[in-house]
């Protein structure tokens, strides 16, 4: 399943807002259509957002016919930067494309366009490889007869490969280590119910959907023995931004003494930020909370809060499954060691 595909200078994006009932692709002829798809969560998940951003910048370059491509693309990258402020992979992709631009500013516009598209394809291939690695490293630490709880969607729809947290689930199932999966519906946009459920169904993995407020009950009944979730941004000390509701789950697993793992590529680490309190949390339209699947669920006079993410402090995290291996506390020194190894 390709959630992003580049064909004949058009970017095809699987419209996740219509899943699981309809599989439609958005055809992006202009970079503004890619930004719109990101803002409206027609494509979502930190790795997938990063890849879409890279292709969106390449698309802007290819379609540009003016005389100052450098200034134009800097403006385009600024527009992408404000589309989803929490997911660090978006900025990772922008920086990669900006480096191509800045290191080749003396080349002709046609050569720059070729290099940008090649870099977007490179970022896509790298994300696929990272997803495969995360899945394998994660499956190794999954216990036999695992009963996994996961939150939101972290599978192929959120990445380019099998997934991060859900990639681990899929790999553990292949290894015969998985007994059952419990997945949350994930209000307000139901990414769990709509997207994770769809992926688990496609893989024929035994699973049960629960509402977000059933997590404590499921744990108290002994139905879960490990929790694995994804991440949109991880700080230097290991504080993690993920879909709203993750922090609540982390507190509950701490009480019930259940291992709690984050699964994310190393590109989701923001080493410029140490504390989770410094991560910008995206506030989305309150209408998403006041409605469900497009239908009003409360009075017009009611107001709603709608943060898209919350921050789980490092102290509540058992380990972080990355494409470089599993990191255990103390996180900071081990994260810096990986960074140093990558820089060599």
Active-site residue set: 232
Token pair 């997207």: residue: 195
Where does residue 248 rank: exposed (0-12), middle (13-18), buried (19+ CB within 10 A)?
middle
Q: What is the CA radius of gyration of the chain?
A: 20
| Contact yes or no for 165/198 (Cβ under 8 A) | no
Reading the block at residue 149, the tokens are 């709880």
Full DSSP string of 102-146? HHTTTS-HHHHHHHHHHHHHHHHHHHHHHHHHHHHHHHHHSPTTE
Residue among 216, 247, 249, 228 nearest 310 (CA): 247
Q: How far is CA 332 from the centre of its chain?
A: 22
Cβ 47 vs Cβ 267: under 8 Å: yes
The residue behind tokens 């494309």 is 97
CA distance 344 to 342: 6
Burial class (CB in 10 A: 0-12, 13-18, 19+), 3: buried
What residues contact 57, with CB distance under 8 A and at least 6 apart? 31, 73, 76, 77, 80, 93, 94, 97, 116, 120
Straight-line distance from the first to the last Cα atom of the chain, in angstroms, rounded to the nearest whole number? 35
CB 20 within 8 A of CB 185: no
DSSP conformational letter for 332: H
Task: Say how far apart CA 212 and CA 209 lie, in whole Å.
Answer: 9
């Amino acid at each position: 399943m390709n959630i992003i595909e580049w064909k004949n200078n058009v970017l095809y994006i699987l419209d996740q807002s219509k899943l699981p009932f309809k599989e439609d692709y958005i055809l992006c002829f202009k970079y503004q259509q890619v930004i719109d798809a990101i803002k409206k969560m027609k494509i979502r998940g930190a790795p997938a957002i990063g890849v879409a951003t890279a292709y969106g910048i390449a698309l802007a370059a290819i379609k540009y016919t003016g005389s100052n491509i450098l200034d134009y693309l800097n403006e385009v990258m600024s527009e992408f930067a404000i589309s989803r402020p929490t997911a660090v992979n978006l900025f990772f992709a922008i920086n990669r494309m900006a480096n191509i631009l800045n290191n080749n500013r003396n080349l002709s516009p046609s050569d720059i366009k070729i290099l940008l598209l090649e870099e977007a394809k490179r970022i896509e291939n790298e994300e696929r490889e990272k997803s495969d690695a995360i899945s394998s490293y994660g499956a190794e630490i999954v216990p036999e007869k695992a009963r996994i709880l996961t939150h939101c969607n972290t599978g192929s729809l959120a990445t380019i490969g099998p997934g991060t947290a859900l990639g681990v689930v899929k790999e553990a199932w292949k290894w015969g280590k998985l007994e059952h999966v419990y997945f949350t519906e994930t209000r307000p946009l139901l990414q769990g119910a709509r997207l994770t459920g769809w992926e688990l169904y496609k893989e024929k993995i035994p699973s049960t959907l629960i509402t977000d407020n059933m997590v404590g009950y499921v744990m108290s009944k002994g139905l879960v023995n490990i929790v694995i979730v994804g991440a949109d941004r991880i700080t230097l000390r290991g504080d993690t931004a993920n879909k709203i509701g993750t922090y609540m789950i982390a507190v509950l697993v701490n009480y019930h003494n259940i291992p709690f793992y984050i699964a994310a590529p190393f590109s989701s680490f923001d080493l410029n930020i140490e504390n989770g309190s410094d991560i910008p949390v995206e506030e989305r339209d309150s209408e998403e909370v006041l409605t469900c699947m497009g239908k009003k669920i409360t009075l017009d006079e009611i107001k709603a809060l709608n943060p898209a993410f919350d921050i789980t402090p490092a102290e509540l995290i058992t380990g972080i499954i990355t494409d470089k291996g599993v990191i255990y506390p103390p996180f900071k020194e081990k994260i810096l060691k990986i960074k140093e190894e990558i820089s060599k």
